[in-house]
Amino acid sequence: MAVVTARFYSLWRSHLGTDSATLQADDIDDALTQLEERFGPLLREKLEAGGIQLDGNIKDHSLILLNGIALRNLKSTRVKEGDVLHIFPPAIGG
With respect to residue 60, please indicate whether it lies within any of the assigned structural domains.
yes
How do residues 1-54 score in pLDDT, each as one tens digit? 999 999 999 989 998 999 999 999 999 999 999 999 999 898 888 888 878 776
- Domain residues for 30? 2-88
Q: Give me the CATH number covering residue 59.
A: 3.10.20.30
The burial class, CB within 10 Å (0-12 / 13-18 / 19+), for 77 is middle
**Average pLDDT for 63-86:** 91
62: nearest Cα among 18, 7, 21: 7
With respect to residue 29, please indicate whether it lies within any of the assigned structural domains.
yes
With respect to residue 69, please indicate whether it lies within any of the assigned structural domains.
yes
With respect to residue 84, please indicate whether it lies within any of the assigned structural domains.
yes
With respect to residue 65, please indicate whether it lies within any of the assigned structural domains.
yes
The tally of domains found in the chain comes to: 1
With respect to residue 93, please indicate whether it lies within any of the assigned structural domains.
no
pTM of the shown model = 0.86
Higher model confidence: residue 65 or residue 45? 65
**End-to-end CA gap in the chain:** 41
With respect to residue 94, please indicate whether it lies within any of the assigned structural domains.
no
